[in-house]
Structure 1
Amino acid sequence: MSGGNCPFCDLSLMDGQEVVLENSLCRFLMMPQEVLKGSGVIVPVAHRETVFDLTPEEWRSTHEILVAAKELLDRKFSPDGYNIGWNSGETGGQHIPHAHLHVIPRFADEPYAGRGIRHWLKSRDNRRPVPEAE
């Protein structure tokens, strides 16, 4: 996927997506969410495939937007906590090959409250198969 058909480069490709905050290098995008209310993603303006492709300036810019996004979400939704995370590569769960930092407000009355990003990853069901002996 190149910048021309990327929904984070061409915002018109994803219905309901809205730029809520931005600086010269990054944007905080939100779209209506039925389950993850208030969640959004921070993306670099330039097309960068993964988090590992960000420049030092984009890292600083991402942090600046993250702090501003937290202030905005705290005012608007008053969450009890947050999950913040990057997925990188298809196996890592990245479905849009443009780096994006998930910002997910969490609430104490959610069914999965208290379960963090690693909850499902560290379950026994996620254990890799044992290679066959040679």
Structure 2
Amino acid sequence: MYQENCPYCNLHADEEQQIIFENETCYFIQKESEQQILQGSGLIIPKKHKKDVFELSDQEWKDSRELLIAAKELLDRKYSPDGYSVGWNTGRAGGQSIFHAHLHVIPRFKDEPFAGRGIRYLIKQEGNRRN
């Protein structure tokens, strides 16, 4: 599957986008401009266009995990983060803005201003309660 207007189906169209690792079905990518705030941040994406995580095949799940482990080993060596935020945004309400499945891999550091605010932060904010 391929989508002509999808940035993750057309990685080579963006000069800043780098493929760091790949396997049979997935890539681990990093974009230069996104390294300015949290160094090492990247994405694991399927090579075939899949709208979201729920469309991944068993092989894509396996290959995503393989790249997640490889990315962690690289990032641990290069940046020595104090933790990670790892997650899928799915659907507009879930924060997905590019509708090609992608797993965020974000090294976290104890000296960053938002240290300690992980994925669960959203469910602990009284201001986020539904009416």
Measured in 1, the distance between the counterparts of 2:17 and 2:124 equals 32
Alignment pair present for 1:111 and 2:99: no
Aligned to 2:26: 26
Measured in 2, the distance between the counterparts of 1:123 and 1:56 equals 34
Secondary structure class of the residue paired with 2:121: coil
Cα RMSD after superposing both structures: 1.2
Aligned to 1:76: 78
Give the C-alpha shift of residue 114 in structure 1: 1.5
Alignment coverage as a number of residue pairs:
128
Q: TM-score, normalising length from structure 2? A: 0.93
Aligned to 2:88: 86
Higher alpha-carbon deviation: 118-127 or 70-79: 118-127
Aligned to 1:52: 54
Aligned to 2:3: 3
Provide structure 2 residue ranges, at least 5 long, that are not aligned to the other structure: none
Assess if the C-alpha contact under 8 Å between 1:6 and 1:13 holds in 2: no
Give the C-alpha shift of residue 109 in structure 1: 0.6
**Paired amino acid for 2:12:** S
More helix by share: 2
Alignment pair present for 1:40 and 2:66: no
Give the C-alpha shift of residue 13 in structure 1: 3.8
Measured in 1, the distance between the counterparts of 2:21 and 2:127 equals 39
Alignment pair present for 1:64 and 2:72: no
Percent of pairs with identical residues: 55
Assess if the C-alpha contact under 8 Å between 1:73 and 1:105 holds in 2: yes
1:77-108, Cα deviation, whole Å (9 max, x unpaired): 11010000000011110000000000000011
Give the C-alpha shift of residue 37 in structure 1: 1.4
Measured in 2, the distance between the counterparts of 1:95 and 1:122 equals 23
Provide structure 1 residue ranges, at least 5 long, that are not aligned to the other structure: 130-134
Measured in 1, the distance between the counterparts of 2:107 and 2:12 equals 25
Give the C-alpha shift of residue 15 in structure 1: 4.1
Measured in 2, the distance between the counterparts of 1:107 and 1:57 equals 32
